[in-house]
Amino acid sequence: MAFNTTNAYGRISIVEDTIAEVAGYSALECYGIVDLVAKSFTDNVAEMFKKHRYSRGVKVLTNGDRIFISLSVIMKYSVSIEAVAEALKKSVKYDVEKFTGMLVNDINVNVEGIRL
């Protein structure tokens, strides 16, 4: 599904996969985040054959002019999970809102594991 908006220059269409790429890239830039992972085994197998590494473990849903994002991440050992999750939410929210011009309504962070 694509998000459509119109401005003075014309019509703009943004696909949810593109928003997922931006969110994933922003997430991997955050301190304490090691990797993005898919939640289930079947999703992991499907993700192995995709070209886009940054959208792995990122689910995006758009409703009107609102964006809902769910991130499944692996964090670095010895970091505060709460602090890293809050920084991750702020960073992803800022980058996605700047990229799309839409409001990010909700970001869920699912910590799937810890890595040394």
Average pLDDT taken over every residue of the chain: 87
Give the integer Cα–Cα distance in Å for 91 and 95. Answer: 6
Asked if residues 110 and 74 have their Cβ atoms less than 8 Å apart, the reply is no
Structural fold of domain 2-115:
Alpha-Beta Plaits (3.30.70)
| Mean pLDDT calculated for residue range 82-98 | 95
Domain ranges of the chain: 2-115
Closest CA to 68 of 2, 15, 16: 16
Instruction: Give the pLDDT score at 14.
Output: 87
